[in-house]
Chains A and B, each alone.
Chain A
Amino acid sequence: MPIARWKLFLLQALVAVVALGVWHVGATIPISLDGQNKPVYLLPPFFFSAPLDVAQRVVKMFTDGTVKIATCAEPFNIATMLQTNNSCFGKTIWQHLAITSIEGLLAFAIGSIAGVALGFWFARRPLVAAVFDPYIKMFNALPRVVLAPIFMLWLGLGIWSKVALGVTLVFFIVFFNVYQGVREVSPVILANARMLGMSERQLFRHVYWPSALSWMFSSLHTSVGFAIIGAVVGEYLGSAAGLGYLIQQAEGTFDVTGVFAGMTILAAFVLLVDWLVTLVENRLLVWKPPAASQQV
């Protein structure tokens, strides 16, 4: 039986309320006093901050428009942003968000294009696939974080080292999906298309391509998520702007409230992106039957 929408929403909200409530109580109501008559908390604010403080900080970040980094007279534009280590980056939270988004978007686009192209090539050329198989596995097994410093060395502290990190994550997801998608085109659909008189080019356009795309789209949530992860981790490890940078800066000064505020914004941002992906997906995959678990 499907759960009513409002009921589901209420239950979801309840989870947040309980979690925040426990956090709030633990961080603001003292459980005892220590030797100097100072209150002792279950969740000391220095380590855990408090939900209201975090909320205030988030609001302040958006209303103030400035987040402590060097202010700069130059107006925001993408050209300056692309320059390595320009201190004019990231004046406002919107600019940090914009930078993380652009990095994620570029990582997603480049990774997807490369993944689709190579996935196709490998699927249609078994020899190529067999030759590169161990290398693909090798690179896929590599924890991408270890590549981040190298990318910074090669591409500098600007957005491209983050994009590169995101690409290495997105590429493999898209690649494996497209590879699988092209190889697992239903033989009946292929035979039917051939009997209808399709040439190799028409087969590509009407059969292989849509099939591969459908597999790519089915991993859209994962690959978009990884694109953002790549961007944020890259920023975290060395940058002058972006959400990852904000969190890293706050951690560097033991500003736990700042860390949580950054995480909150990141979480909201990811939810928003995920929602957009769902919209795109519903539009592109209208022809897909609903998953078995959603039928009933």
Chain B
Amino acid sequence: MASETEPTAPAVRLSHVDVAFPEPKGGVFKAVSNASLDVANSEFVAIVGPTGCGKSTLLNCAAGLLAPAAGHVEIFGMQLSGLNGHAGYLFQQDALMPWKTARDNIALALEIGGTPRIEAVERAQVWLGRVGLKSFGDRYAHQLSGGQRKRVGLAQVLIRNPKILLMDEPFGPLDAQTRQIMGNLLLDLWAGDKKAVLFVTHDLEEAIALADRVVIMSAGPEARIIGDHTIDLVRPRDATEVRLQPRFHALHKAIWGQLRSEVIKAYGGEIG
């Protein structure tokens, strides 16, 4: 935590990043164009944009799962090549290994790094408790609800204590109540050691409730970063109750004004 060397460089720096995919009929599809974004150490940044705007693509660049077509990615001041070893990644879809129990899924994250099995399992049990699944360790993925699977996924990522947390619409498939509960869980866990977080979502309310900064992306293709808003709501926050504050409404109104035209553009593009 505080004892760690405090690098002055931002945890994640994307500078002038382009992302392009080859199209099946030839040519290239440019998903993201000239995106620059810094995430400081212990900062919680949310990226919001209309569906299909390339938010996840940008996140994959920060994770090293995808190489940008132009521009570069720096992690703590070092040029990223290959996978980002400092980052934990929580995926939108279920990424648990279905053939392992919840506990083994979490323990595996440690075992990979060479932690002895017994110790890994013990620590996994501690993490099961932290995400509120103390007695669910022996269940397999299909025996857990969507929210419970996300909790296991969160524990699996956090048990390795990554310096950066990348989240790709992690609570997207969950129902509204579960999302807010998960949001609070995330805030609680994050408050412990304040990792740098890059959180992708299409839900503006969720973004404002959780983040320090909300970054807006335009509709794709060639999506750009078109807005960067500081969220000055006091912490600690309650992801549910914060939504009732007047300041929340003011922020929501200001940001939504910018986002709305992009959302309409995204749908218009699809329909047209």
- What residues of chain A have their CB less than 8 Å away from a CB belonging to chain B? 186, 188-189, 191-199, 202, 206-207, 210-211, 214, 286-289
Contact: B142 with A189, CB < 8 Å? Answer: no
What 0/1 pattern do residues 56 to 82 of B give for CB contact below 8 A with A?
000000010100000000000000000
**Within the assembled complex, what's the spacing in Å between the Cα atoms of A199 and B63?**
16
Given contacts A286-B140, A289-B142, 4 further A-B contacts (CB under 8 A): A197-B113, A287-B101, A288-B98, A288-B142
Q: Which of B63, B93, B94, B160 contacts A197 (CB 8 A)?
A: B160
Closest 10 CB pairs of A and B: A192-B95, A289-B142, A287-B140, A195-B89, A210-B99, A188-B93, A287-B99, A188-B95, A196-B109, A197-B112
Query: Can you sample 8 A-B contacts with CB below 8 Å?
Result: A191-B95, A195-B84, A195-B87, A195-B89, A196-B156, A196-B157, A196-B160, A288-B142
Which residues B170-202 have CB closer than 8 A to chain A?
A: none
Contact: A206 with B97, CB < 8 Å? Answer: yes
B-side interface mostly: loop
Instruction: Give min CB distance, B187 to chain A, whole Å.
Output: 22
Which residues B101-150 have CB closer than 8 A to chain A?
A: 101, 108-109, 112-113, 140-142
CB-nearest residue of chain B to A210: B99
Q: Which of A195, A199, A289 contacts B65 (CB 8 A)?
A: A195
**Within the assembled complex, what's the spacing in Å between the Cα atoms of A192 and B92?**
11
Question: Which residues of A have CB within 8 Å of B112?
Answer: 196-199, 202, 206
**Within the assembled complex, what's the spacing in Å between the Cα atoms of A186 and B91?**
13
Contact: A189 with B99, CB < 8 Å? Answer: no
Instruction: Give min CB distance, B101 to chain A, whole Å.
Output: 8
Instruction: Give min CB distance, B8 to chain A, whole Å.
Output: 26
Q: Flag whether B88 is at the interface (Cβ < 8 A).
A: yes
Q: Flag whether B100 is at the interface (Cβ < 8 A).
A: yes
**Within the assembled complex, what's the spacing in Å between the Cα atoms of A233 and B39?**
69
Question: Which residues of A have CB within 8 Å of B108?
Answer: 196, 206
Contact: B141 with A197, CB < 8 Å? Answer: no
CB-nearest residue of chain A to B84: A195
- What residues of chain B have their CB less than 8 Å away from a CB belonging to chain A? 63, 65, 83-85, 87-89, 91, 93-101, 108-109, 112-113, 140-142, 156-157, 160
Known: A197-B112, A197-B160. A287 touches B89 (CB 8 A): no
Instruction: Give min CB distance, A157 to chain B, whole Å.
Output: 43
Instruction: Give min CB distance, A178 to chain B, whole Å.
Output: 15
Known: A202-B112, A206-B108, A210-B99. A194 touches B65 (CB 8 A): yes
Instruction: Give min CB distance, B123 to chain A, whole Å.
Output: 15
**Within the assembled complex, what's the spacing in Å between the Cα atoms of A153 and B116?**
55
Contact: A192 with B141, CB < 8 Å? Answer: no
Instruction: Give min CB distance, B232 to chain A, whole Å.
Output: 32
**Within the assembled complex, what's the spacing in Å between the Cα atoms of A13 and B89?**
56
**Within the assembled complex, what's the spacing in Å between the Cα atoms of A132 and B157?**
41
Contact: A195 with B88, CB < 8 Å? Answer: yes
Contact: B95 with A214, CB < 8 Å? Answer: no
Q: Which of A188, A191, A207 contacts B94 (CB 8 A)?
A: A188
Contact: A191 with B65, CB < 8 Å? Answer: yes
Question: Which residues of B have CB within 8 Å of A192?
Answer: 89, 91, 95-96
Question: Which residues of B have CB within 8 Å of A206?
Answer: 97, 108, 112
Known: A195-B83, A202-B112. A210 touches B97 (CB 8 A): yes
**Within the assembled complex, what's the spacing in Å between the Cα atoms of A186 and B254?**
40
Contact: B91 with A188, CB < 8 Å? Answer: yes
CB-nearest residue of chain A to B88: A195
CB-nearest residue of chain B to A191: B65
Question: Which residues of B have CB within 8 Å of A207?
Answer: 97
Question: Which residues of B have CB within 8 Å of A288?
Answer: 98, 142
Instruction: Give min CB distance, A293 to chain B, whole Å.
Output: 15
Question: Which residues of B have CB within 8 Å of A186?
Answer: 93, 95
Instruction: Give min CB distance, B127 to chain A, whole Å.
Output: 14
**Within the assembled complex, what's the spacing in Å between the Cα atoms of A197 and B91?**
15
**Within the assembled complex, what's the spacing in Å between the Cα atoms of A195 and B162?**
11
Q: Which of B84, B97, B140 contacts A189 (CB 8 A)?
A: B97
**Within the assembled complex, what's the spacing in Å between the Cα atoms of A139 and B141?**
39
Question: Which residues of B have CB within 8 Å of A289?
Answer: 98, 142
Known: A188-B94, A189-B95, A189-B97. A194 touches B142 (CB 8 A): no
**Within the assembled complex, what's the spacing in Å between the Cα atoms of A234 and B60?**
56
**Within the assembled complex, what's the spacing in Å between the Cα atoms of A196 and B108?**
9
Question: Which residues of A have CB within 8 Å of B95?
Answer: 186, 188-189, 191-192
Question: Which residues of A have CB within 8 Å of B87?
Answer: 195
Question: Which residues of A have CB within 8 Å of B157?
Answer: 196
Instruction: Give min CB distance, A33 to chain B, whole Å.
Output: 67
